[in-house]
Amino acid sequence: MHNRFYAFLIILISIVGFNSLAIAKDSKNYQDGPYLIAEKPNQLTQYDVIDGALFIDRYRGGLGKVSHFEHSPSDNYQGVKKVAAISDIHGQFQIFKQLLQRNGIIDSKLNWQWGTGHLVITGDIFDRGDTVTEALWLVFKLEQQAKAAGGKLHYLLGNHEYMVLRGNEKYLHDKYHHTLDLMNMDLKTLFNHQTTLGQWLRSKSTVIKINDSVFMHGGIHQDFLDLNLTLEQTNEIFRSTIGQSRDTLKSQPITKVLYGRTGPIWYRGFFKDDLSASDVDKVLNSLQVKRIVVGHTSQQQLETPFDGRVIAIDTSIKRGVKGEILIINRQEDGTDVLIRGKMNGEQSPLLNK
Ligand code: ZN
């Protein structure tokens, strides 16, 4: 009896000991934050993880009401001279940064250098990698710098943004589980409407049009077109339903489509369904565009299926090795020159349309 008890105790100690050792080892030199949360009216709390330890600072004043958190009244932008587009960063800050720097979007000090140009991020900054927070704050800053320069940064939300905002922790890197443990908080609370990043994310669009291109994370299926929504209506419905449970979203006919497998944040049919060029033309005609730019379905490099009617820009940055950025230059005659931007800054024509 005694022996059994001791054996049990030894097993228990070794399990507990092993676990705490593993956490301590992982947590060493690990940095995260800041996270800004209005936990009380008139008080903003800042959480930082520095060398694996949590630091908390409290400030007077709440989140405030800044124009930065207000969404654009229109989701259609015309007369834009140059557009850059990148997708599915998935917590790979270094690759994201290098692609922007080497292709002239930002300078060596991470400041906006793209002038009056637009930068589109078609979703999925979150999940998988361990430098999500760094990427979010860079985008947060660049958005303001772009606006001041007469340009614009569009951070469109992908399925992973919507998953995180409803508290789905399935694809979180271990690092963020440690952060949540240290903060004694769940993911949904970390990005709820009482937080700076959460409120900012809730101002974003999901589908936009710039010149002759429409941009979104997944793709467009007939189910979406059958809803007969304008881009502004679509984005407003997404904004007003952020964070709702899957069951609630499925119970309403419109959100069932928007958040479903054929909706703009999940659809993969351009790469899977047996579509013809004329099927894709139907979609382009109803949206009155020449091309659809999408992320979500991973490629080795930028791809131009259906003779450039679709531009696939998820270039597998998530693997942490490399990626590409799309640049669209508007010509005087109203046509676009599409360019492939590489990690070393090398640029080559993708398509002339
Ligand atoms: Zn995705």
Task: Determine the distance separating the centroid of ligand 1 and the alpha carbon of 136, expressed in angstroms.
Answer: 16
Say yes or no to pLDDT of 343 above 90: yes
Say yes or no to pLDDT of 19 above 50: no
Average pLDDT of 226-239? 97
**The Cα angle at residue 270 between residues 264 and 272, in degrees rounded to 5:** 115
**CA separation for the pair 209, 38 (Å, rounded):** 34
* Tally of CB atoms within 10 A around 102: 17
Task: Determine the distance separating the centroid of ligand 1 and the alpha carbon of 22, expressed in angstroms.
Answer: 31
Q: What is the pLDDT at residue 67?
A: 56
Q: What is the pLDDT at residue 305?
A: 96
- Tens of pLDDT, residue by residue over 216-232, are 999 999 999 999 999 99
Q: What is the pLDDT at residue 29?
A: 83
Q: What is the pLDDT at residue 16?
A: 38
Task: Determine the distance separating the centroid of ligand 1 and the alpha carbon of 313, expressed in angstroms.
Answer: 11
Task: Determine the distance separating the centroid of ligand 1 and the alpha carbon of 126, expressed in angstroms.
Answer: 10
DSSP assignment of 189-240 equals HHTSTTBHHHHHHTT--S-EEETTEEEESS---HHHHHT---HHHHHHHHHH
Say yes or no to pLDDT of 25 above 80: no
Q: What is the pLDDT at residue 353?
A: 59
Say yes or no to pLDDT of 268 above 50: yes
**CA separation for the pair 117, 52 (Å, rounded):** 39
- Residue 348's pLDDT band, with cuts at 50, 70 and 90, is very high
Task: Determine the distance separating the centroid of ligand 1 and the alpha carbon of 122, expressed in angstroms.
Answer: 9
Task: Determine the distance separating the centroid of ligand 1 and the alpha carbon of 240, expressed in angstroms.
Answer: 20
Average pLDDT of 69-85? 93
Task: Determine the distance separating the centroid of ligand 1 and the alpha carbon of 189, expressed in angstroms.
Answer: 22
Average pLDDT of 310-327? 98
**CA separation for the pair 101, 86 (Å, rounded):** 13
- Tens of pLDDT, residue by residue over 179-219, are 999 999 999 999 999 999 999 999 999 999 999 999 999 99
Helix or strand holding residue 59 (H, E): strand 53-60
- Residue 13's pLDDT band, with cuts at 50, 70 and 90, is very low
Q: What is the pLDDT at residue 257?
A: 98
- Tens of pLDDT, residue by residue over 100-118, are 999 999 999 999 999 999 9
Task: Determine the distance separating the centroid of ligand 1 and the alpha carbon of 192, expressed in angstroms.
Answer: 21
Instruction: Report how far apart, in Å, the C-alpha atoms of 116 and of each of 16, 27, 83, 137, 337 are.
Output: 56, 42, 9, 21, 17
Q: What is the pLDDT at residue 42?
A: 87
Task: Determine the distance separating the centroid of ligand 1 and the alpha carbon of 202, expressed in angstroms.
Answer: 18
Model confidence, pTM: 0.91
Omega before residue 34 within 30° of 0, cis: yes
Helical H segments across the chain, by residue range: 2-27, 93-102, 132-148, 159-165, 174-183, 187-190, 196-201, 222-226, 231-241, 246-251, 253-258, 277-287, 305-308
Task: Determine the distance separating the centroid of ligand 1 and the alpha carbon of 79, expressed in angstroms.
Answer: 29
Average pLDDT of 133-145? 97
Strands 347-352 and 336-341: antiparallel
Strands 336-341 and 208-210: unpaired
Average pLDDT of 126-141? 98
User: Which residue shows structure tokens 């339903």?
Assistant: 241
Task: Determine the distance separating the centroid of ligand 1 and the alpha carbon of 298, expressed in angstroms.
Answer: 9
Q: What is the pLDDT at residue 5?
A: 45
Q: What is residue 266's three-state secondary structure? A: coil
Nearest CA-CA partner of 56 in 33, 77, 27, 90 = 33
Task: Determine the distance separating the centroid of ligand 1 and the alpha carbon of 14, expressed in angstroms.
Answer: 40
- Residue 352's pLDDT band, with cuts at 50, 70 and 90, is low
Q: How many residues does the chain have?
A: 353
Task: Determine the distance separating the centroid of ligand 1 and the alpha carbon of 308, expressed in angstroms.
Answer: 21
**CA separation for the pair 340, 187 (Å, rounded):** 36
Least confident of 50-64, 154-168, 180-194, 304-318: 50-64
Task: Determine the distance separating the centroid of ligand 1 and the alpha carbon of 4, expressed in angstroms.
Answer: 51
Which residues are within 8 A (CB) of 143 and not within 5 positions of it... i.e. 6 or more apart?
68, 153, 155
Structure tokens given for 232: 């502004």
Task: Determine the distance separating the centroid of ligand 1 and the alpha carbon of 163, expressed in angstroms.
Answer: 10
